[in-house]
């Protein structure tokens, strides 16, 4: 593949178009569909089964030309995804060669190869059902072929996750190891950025695929190897931010599924390690240092604080959930957990109010919602974490006050029922589950719920009443995506309690 950069880009772009067209066509229709071009199928199959071609393609990942390297990354990604539909062991060979490139190659190749794996994990429509079993029937006197859909056992993501789990220690030690003072020789921030992105994509895939991926222990075991990135002033700002997101994503996964004792212990250890960084103010100190690296871009500083607060809330939730399963004595559990919650909340609250990162004069449970208000998913997750923690540790109610957080949410949306209606319909956040839980809690403790709204009580109840009427109207017209009656009944009960108290 030795050629001028422009010729190389043209060649790679043509191959990328060929492979992506074939993959998308297969996603939309059976492989045996008469509309498939036999010439394209033969060309792609011959190319993907040619090991020499793939070795040459991987060599292009070391190109010094950024554009050539980018297109090569796209072609390798399409090759891996395209092999998922083919019989044989081509896919396994491609993945193994990519991993070998990461662990043994030098220069730019490892970073580009990591980028390929991230793209594969983030690709959509990989795990579809394909046509492989042929049967025959007669139509108009002629024999017609039919193909019965069966599950694709060579799903690219599943195989990639298994291979990654087996070699993850080597990948991490090659790309992001630390000898006490410096990053591994020959490595730079691009290596760290890409490995953190890949690691985050791994946990994102776990959350979206549920129990499809069973082998993931190694991804948790190696996480402490990146902790040093959070406590160095020479860590690049984007690397620090993405590392915070990575730790938060791993803790989010720990609490989103049933875990065994080993994983529970690992999640508690990780959460406790992060929370210790908060209580000793080391994490907050370095967050301030990193924030200065963003310069006058206040938007980036806000995102930095958002991710740090989310990490704290996810860590507290994982810590509480794990301690509940690990400690036999409820008194010992509540004392240790309540102390940790109080220390983390106090440190966050005092640090933010004393700094210039975010201006606020209200308690943590309210300003954390205001801070997240421009991100729906983060807002709802922060509120859900507070509710989870308060439900598990009643003594933490005053520290995280889920009702005050809900009241702040209604104020942030200017008491507009259409905004909450959009939350209930959208799949971008888990607002429905959160709303059901907080309204059930409100019906059990109505006085404290109404007290949390202060002078905004009438506006809040007006919103909830109008929201219920809108939901019922959409339900009657059969345009709501699910049965609204459970939440509508809770809203009605809140209205009845409100009327009773007011009268």
Show which of 368, 400, 432 is a domain's final residue: 400
Mean pLDDT of 342-346: 95
Does residue 145 belong to any structural domain of this protein?
no
171 and 219 inside one domain = no
- Same structural domain, 74 and 99: yes
The pLDDT, as a whole number, for residue 36 is: 66
336 vs 406: which has the higher pLDDT = 406
Q: What is the pLDDT of residue 119?
A: 92
pLDDT at 179 over 70: no
Residue with tokens 């319909």: 425
For residues 222 and 366, membership in a common domain is answered with: yes
Whether 114 shows a pLDDT value over 90: the answer reads: yes
169 shares a domain with 238: no
Residue 137 lies in a domain: no
Residue 149, phi then psi, degrees to nearest 5: -70, 130
- In this structure, the answer to whether residues 219 and 193 fall within a common structural domain is no
Lowest mean pLDDT segment, chosen from 156-160, 205-209, 329-333, 397-401? 329-333
Q: What are phi and psi of 138, to 5 degrees?
A: -115, 135
pLDDT band at 490 (very low <50, low <70, confident <90, very high): very high
Residues 382 and 423 in one domain: no
Q: Mean pLDDT throughout 99-117?
A: 88
383 & 260 share domain: yes
What mean pLDDT is reported for the chain?
Answer: 81
Do 193 and 245 belong to one domain? no
User: What mean pLDDT comes out for the span 222-241?
Assistant: 87
In a domain, 378, yes or no: yes
Beta strands in 179-337 (DSSP E): none
Lowest mean pLDDT among 4-8, 291-295, 331-335: 331-335
Give the separation between CA 317 and CA 334, rounded to whole angstroms. Answer: 13
> Is the pLDDT higher at 302 or at 5?
302
Nearest CA-CA partner of 84 in 46, 129, 42, 138: 129
Determine, yes or no, domain membership for 135: no
Distance CA 290, CA 182 (A): 18
Q: Tell me which DSSP letter residue 87 carries.
A: S
Return the higher-pLDDT residue of 83 and 489: 489
| 86-95, 298-307, 361-370: least confidently modelled range | 86-95
- pLDDT above 60 for 140: no
Measure the CA–CA gap between 124 and 27, rounded to whole angstroms: 10
Q: Determine how many CB atoms are found less than 10 A away from the CB of residue 75.
A: 25
Q: Span 55-77, mean pLDDT? A: 89
Helix (H) or strand (E) holding 163: helix 156-175
Same domain flag for 323 and 388: yes
In the chain, the number of structural domains is: 3
Please count the other Cβ atoms lying within 10 Å of the Cβ belonging to residue 384: 21
d(CA 475, CA 488): 10
Residue 79 domain-assigned (yes or no): yes
In this predicted structure, what is the pLDDT of residue 296? 62
Regarding whether 389 and 301 lie in a shared domain, the answer is yes
In 3-state terms, what secondary structure has residue 247? Answer: helix
Write down the pLDDT at residue 11: 84
Q: Is residue 296 part of a domain?
A: yes
* pLDDT-based confidence at residue 346 (cuts at 50, 70, 90): very high
- 429 phi and psi, to 5 degrees? -145, 165
Classify residue 169: in a domain, yes or no.
yes
Mean pLDDT across 393-415: 93
* Cβ atoms of 157 and 216 closer than 8 Å: no
In-domain check, residue 332: yes
User: Are 243 and 387 part of one and the same domain?
Assistant: yes
What does the buried/exposed string (b/e) look like for 76-104 if buried means 16 or more CB atoms within 10 Å of the residue's CB? Answer: bbbbbbbbbbbeeebbeebbebbbebbee
73 Cβ neighbours under 8 A, 6+ residues apart:
61, 112, 115, 116, 119
Q: Which domain holds residue 268?
A: 215-400
Q: With bands split at pLDDT 50, 70 and 90, how would you rate the model's confidence at 295?
A: low
Give the pLDDT confidence score for residue 441 in this predicted structure: 95
Same domain, 101 and 31: yes
């Amino acid at each position: 593949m030795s050629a001028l950069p422009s010729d190389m880009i043209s060649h790679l772009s043509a191959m990328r178009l060929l492979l992506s067209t074939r993959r998308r066509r297969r996603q939309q229709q059976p492989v045996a569909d008469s509309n498939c071009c036999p010439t394209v199928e033969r060309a792609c199959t011959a190319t993907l089964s040619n090991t020499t071609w793939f070795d040459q393609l991987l060599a292009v990942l070391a190109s010094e030309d950024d554009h050539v390297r980018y297109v090569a990354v796209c072609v390798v990604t399409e090759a891996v995804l395209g092999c998922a539909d083919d019989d044989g062991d081509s896919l396994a060979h491609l993945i193994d060669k990519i991993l070998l490139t990461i662990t043994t190659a030098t220069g730019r190749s490892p970073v580009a190869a990591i980028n390929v794996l991230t793209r594969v994990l983030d690709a959509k429509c990989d795990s579809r059902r394909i046509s492989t079993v042929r049967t025959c029937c007669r139509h108009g006197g002629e024999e017609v072929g039919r193909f019965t859909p069966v599950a694709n056992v060579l799903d690219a993501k599943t195989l990639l996750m298994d291979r990654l789990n087996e070699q993850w220690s080597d990948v991490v030690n090659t790309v992001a190891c630390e000898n006490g003072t410096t990053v591994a020789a020959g490595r730079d921030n691009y290596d760290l950025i890409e490995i953190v992105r890949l690691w985050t994509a791994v946990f994102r895939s776990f959350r979206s695929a549920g129990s499809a991926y069973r082998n993931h222990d190694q991804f948790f075991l190696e996480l402490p190897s990146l902790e040093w990135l959070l406590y160095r002033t020479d860590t690049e700002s984007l690397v620090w931010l993405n590392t915070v997101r990575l730790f938060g994503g791993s803790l989010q996964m720990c609490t989103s599924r049933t875990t065994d004792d080993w994983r529970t212990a690992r999640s508690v250890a990780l959460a406790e390690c992060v929370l210790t960084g908060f209580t000793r103010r080391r994490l907050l100190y370095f967050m301030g240092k990193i924030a200065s690296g963003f310069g006058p871009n206040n938007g980036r500083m806000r995102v930095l604080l958002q991710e740090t607060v989310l990490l704290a809330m996810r860590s507290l939730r994982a810590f509480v959930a794990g301690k509940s399963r690990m400690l036999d004595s409820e008194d010992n559990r509540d004392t240790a957990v309540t102390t940790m919650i109080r220390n983390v909340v106090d440190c966050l609250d005092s640090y933010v109010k004393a700094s210039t990162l975010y201006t606020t004069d209200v308690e943590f449970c309210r300003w954390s919602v205001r801070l997240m208000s421009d991100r729906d998913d983060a807002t709802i997750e922060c509120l859900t974490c507070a509710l989870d923690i308060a439900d598990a540790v009643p003594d933490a109610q005053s520290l995280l006050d889920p009702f005050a957080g809900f009241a702040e949410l209604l104020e942030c949306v200017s008491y507009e029922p259409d905004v909450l209606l959009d939350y209930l319909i959208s799949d971008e956040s888990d607002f429905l589950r959160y709303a059901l839980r907080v309204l059930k809690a409100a019906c059990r403790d109505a006085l404290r719920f109404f007290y949390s709204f202060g002078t905004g009580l009438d506006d809040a109840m007006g919103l909830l009443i109008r929201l219920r009427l809108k939901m019922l109207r959409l339900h009657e017209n059969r345009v709501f995506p699910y049965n609204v009656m459970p939440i509508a009944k809770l809203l009605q009960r809140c209205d009845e309690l409100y009327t009773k108290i007011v009268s």
